[in-house]
Amino acid sequence: MLLDRAAGLADKINQYQTLKKAGDEALLFQSRANQLKTASEKLSSVRKALRKMREAGIEVDFAPSDGLTLAERAKDLRTAMSGNPSAINDPALNLKYDFLDRLASIATAADRMISASWRSHVRKRAEFGSSDILDALAAIPQFRPSVIRIRQCRTAVEALGETVPEDPKATVLRLDALVAEHEKSWSDLSANDIPPSVVKFIRDAANDGASLTSYSDEVRHWLDKQNLVASFRIRLK
């Protein structure tokens, strides 16, 4: 009787150990699955972002470091697991440092390059120049409405460049519209009681600098009267 109980207890212990081992292996499998899922989602997200940027016509100069090596490692892991799924729990390489961490580094580097490329694109499209002229014109009531519109355009463009958009193609169209509105606001700059030569000089100065020939006595007199002479830039040629 006692021997029978001992044999039954031994069987239960063996069953427990078998179940515990299976449970430990299941936890390890789950851990590996979570690690691989995280890496896969990061790479998938950055790949999608790169594709969207290309479709929007924005160049992103990015090439993954050790991409071919990591692709070979992924292939070897898949081959090993197809014959023995438990191979993922005891791979031939250091899964974290030689594979998963490097994949994460690629995703991080790509994200940084995408952000830098987007900011660069917005900056090139919005080379509006100094705001000094706007500050000066804002003091003149006749120009104030135009200055407000121009500043609103600049603020909106700056906001677009702060973060990578979810839809770059649509945002590029919005950016183009804001730049066009900014240019139109400068083109529409006018005032009934201000000489046309002065208005033209201001527009040119805000663009790439007014020419010396446009700095007439009439312009100089008006700017001097408004204490604005020091606010403008003149091209010598």
Question: Is the pTM above the cut of 0.75?
Answer: no
> What backbone torsions phi and psi does residue 154 show, to the nearest 5 degrees?
-65, -40
Chain position carrying tokens 């663009």:
207
Task: Look over the chain and give the mean of its residue pLDDT values, rounded to a whole number.
Answer: 78
Q: pLDDT for 103-150, tens place per residue?
A: 888 889 999 999 999 999 999 988 887 677 788 778 778 788 888 999
Q: pLDDT for 201-229, tens place per residue?
A: 877 776 666 777 788 888 888 888 877 77
Classify each residue of 127-143 as buried b or exposed e, where b means 16 or more C-beta atoms within 10 Å of its C-beta: ebeeeebbebbbeeeeb
Give yes or no for residue 153 having a pLDDT over 60.
yes
Do 226 and 198 meet the contact criterion of CB atoms below 8 Å apart?
no
pLDDT at 144: 85
